[in-house]
Amino acid sequence: MARVLVTGSSTGLGLGAAQRLAGQGHAVTLHARDQARADDARRECPDAEGVLVGDLTTIAGMRDVAEQAEHTGRFDAVIHNAALGYREPRQETEDGIEHVFAVNVLAPYLLTALMTLPDRLVYLSSGMHRGGTPDLDDLDWKRRRWNGSHAYSDSKLYDVLLAFGIARRRPEVRSNAVDPGWIPTRMGGRGAPGSLEAGCDTQVWLAVSDDDAALVSGRYFHHRQERPTAPAARDTRLQDALLERCAEITGVSS
């Protein structure tokens, strides 16, 4: 039995992954933005070990979730699922950070940096990462004209960079990125062609499976198959630059 934390697990892919893990007998900890969502998550996944409550749009909220997680004890795996989608208007958090970058990139970075390292880390990315811009000069979209789809693509490229950068820096941890596909969730929309079951499968597999194919690090998967990434994702200098920028913003080194 593994202890697994799934962020953003009150609905959609995160909830689906948590339900599958709990159904397999693993000790799952859910995460929700607020108490109402936490109550909903508990109802949908009653076998969960617990629920962390915290808003990942703020650095204080990220720190609070990490503290709650640490209080429960070390996890064997963490699935960084929480994310904002590509239809978002540009907003700044109370920290003055563009909110898609804050939730999709800074939150998984800071949780990883503050929590006791698990054996496995899984970062949710997207096939849209291939449309991301490998440029860290305007993370907050203050100079560029806002484009929600492009901002989301950037954030998903950065998630792959995080996964690969952590894999290099922390060889004792299996750190991988996953493209779950286009799934009919609240983010993906009703017209998405994939299935929730298929979209949850690979991150669960990477988090707990003893299959040789899952016991790897620094890889990018779609439906349990390793897939090529955007070339920029393999740029070690860019990986290190992103980690350093996140450290500067949060004041916490990875």
- Catalytic residue annotation: 152, 156
Radius of gyration of the chain (CA): 16
CA distances from 40 to 15, 69, 145 (A): 10, 20, 37
* Token representation of residue 98: 């563009």
**222 by DSSP, 3-state: which?**
strand
Report the 10 Å Cβ neighbour count for 40: 16
* Token representation of residue 180: 């779950």
Contact 167, 173 (CB under 8 A): yes
Contact 192, 151 (CB under 8 A): no
The DSSP bridge pattern shows strands 225-226 and 220-222 to be antiparallel
> In angstroms, rounded to a whole number, what is the distance separating the alpha carbons of residues 80 and 60?
18
> In angstroms, rounded to a whole number, what is the distance separating the alpha carbons of residues 43 and 114?
29
The DSSP bridge pattern shows strands 120-124 and 174-178 to be parallel
Residue 34 DSSP symbol: S
Contact 200, 20 (CB under 8 A): yes
